[in-house]
Amino acid sequence: MRNLVALATGLAVLTAIAACENGPGAPKEPPVLTVTSPARGLIQGHAGQVTVSGQALPNAAGDALDKVLVNDVQATLAPDGSFSAVITVNEGATLIETVASDVQGTAATDTRAVQAGQLRPVGTSIDKAIDLSMSAASFAKLSTAAGPILKGLDMASLLAPMQPMLNVGGGSTYAQLFVDDVNFSDIQIAMSPVQGGLSFRAEIDKLDVPAHVRFAVLGLGGSDSLRVTADRVVIAGTLAITPAGLSGFKTRIANPNVSVTSFHFDAGGIPSTILNLLHIDSIVQTILPPAAELAMTPLVNQALGALAGPQQLDVLGHKLDLQLAPSAIAFDPSGAVLAMNLKVLLAGSESSPGFIFTNNGSPAMTASYGFQIGLADDLLNEMFAELHALGALNLTVPKDVGVFDAAQIHMTVPPMISADARNGELRIVLGDMLATFTKQGTPVGKAAINARIDLQIVPVGNGNSIALQLGPPELHVDVLDDVANTTGLEPRDLAAATAAAVNAQIEAISKLLVSIPVPAIAGLQFHNLAVGSDQGYVMVSGQLQ
């Protein structure tokens, strides 16, 4: 490597620095810095110590060296300019910045990436990949949205697997009740969290239940239609919700209490013996609780994620197989907290060497405030590793500036979500991207790019869903010697030319982040969004409206 080039926060700052370097009073030449170890894009299977070594020599003017720092650790510097320093890297992605400065205060820098931690195969299921909490106030908002959702359900299809709903009697006298549909003019739902579930109340107006009965009386068989109506029905109880694997959640109304106003039935030619066998006067109390449980299951699945089950998504032109299953849910009067396991695999990425798995703690989920969503960094890093294996993040960026007309971007390691050692915040680290500049297909320059990028959260889809996005990058650019710089540009100007390449890479990664399955909550809108981090999770919080 001939010369380190630039460190800037944001592309505009980087370009401004490059412009200043071309003006009057250009700074003195920095020392000549060469880092020989570790290699760029190092992946090691554990956190711990890394030895950084190389050589730092005076500039052409002969200004004596002062010191070499590696991530603020002073290196041992020999008379011939060779140096070494031992630093500690944590699990995740670390940028190693080596700074060689001379007695005039002029510095050369080299930045490279190392990823440390346990490698796991892609396609590995991530336990607690997504955590979600909802407050009591959020369930009140959900109750308001529940009525229209339930009115849109195809109850006939939901009820079909349960038929016959009643099978009573035996021998020569029996009855089987088949419920064909459940109709109503309006429904109001009230749900509030209690210990162990949701306090549940459904007020149903103008109930209309068409059905038919197959029967026999003393061996003489028959069938006929039955219709049950009521002006108003109220069902109340505790809605117990339990995980059901890839099916999402299962609901059950414990100790249902059903009251009926203005009950009426039309039994056609069904004999009274059969009507008595069916207990026709309490038939609504018999059939509505299980029907309500069936209806609440898709509602709860929409309310608590709307993601369960196997799905296929398109991500940057590749098929993503996704399997999400809730693993735990707990209720108390303040709200609910649940965890979901997730398995993701991009078709064709099986050849990947794996992704860096980091041991996360348990994020603090507070059910008393709005909602919270926690996304495990392992989930995001697994998807990055799969895309990297497919070469989907290797780009060619056309950029004709005369001295070169394109830049090829090669990712030596996958992007990685990692906690910043400086403040613990989770950021995406783009490690050792190699940008080769070409003119009519011939290489004319090369640079290594490292970047830290903040995560942002934005509402999408009319505000009823959210997505992760990338903020401005903090860039570290080194011009490399393995391709001669024949562009005629000074190294810092060539570094500034990486802006278009970095923008293209950020755009590609942003498309991936938008496709990451973040729970939507029953079509409600998200407001007052904030993003943070806790115990290796990207934390999103806000309010529902």
What distance in Å separates the CA atoms of residue 54 and residue 68, rounded to the nearest whole number?
10
Contact at 8 Å (CB) between 333 and 350? Answer: no
Answer yes or no: same fold for 3-120 and 126-135+336-544: no
Which pLDDT score, from 0 to 100, does residue 7 have? 32
- The rounded distance, in Å, linking the Cα atoms of 83 and 74 is 10
Residues 6+ apart with CB under 8 A from 21: 27, 490, 492, 493
Sign of CA dihedral 381, 369, 454, 409: positive
**pLDDT for the residue numbered 419:** 67
CATH number of the 3-120 domain = 2.60.40.650
pLDDT tens column, 90-115:
999 999 999 999 999 999 999 999 99
Span 249-284, pLDDT tens digits: 899 999 999 999 999 999 989 999 999 999 999 999
Which range has the worst mean pLDDT, 35-39, 74-78, 478-482?
A: 478-482
Confidence tier at 4 by pLDDT (50, 70, 90): very low
pLDDT digits (tens, 9 = 90+) for 129-162: 989 888 998 888 888 888 888 888 899 999 999 9
pLDDT at 309: 65
Instruction: Give residue 397's pLDDT.
Output: 86
Confidence (pLDDT) at 264: 96
Domain 126-135+336-544 has CATH 3.15.20.10: yes
- pLDDT band, very low/low/confident/very high, at 6 (cuts 50, 70, 90): very low
In this structure, is the dihedral angle defined by the CA atoms of residues 492, 33, 482 and 116, taken in order, positive or negative? Answer: negative
Least confident of 247-256, 306-315, 449-458: 306-315
Cα–Cα distance for residue pair 173/167, rounded to 1 Å: 11
pLDDT attached to residue 307: 55
**Confidence grade of residue 20 (pLDDT, cut at 50, 70, 90):** very low
Locate the domains of the chain by residue range. Answer: 3-120, 126-135+336-544, 136-303
How far is Cα 506 from Cα 79, in angstroms, rounded to an integer? Answer: 43
Confidence of residue 38 (pLDDT cuts 50, 70, 90): very high
Q: Residue 483: helix, strand or coil by DSSP?
A: coil
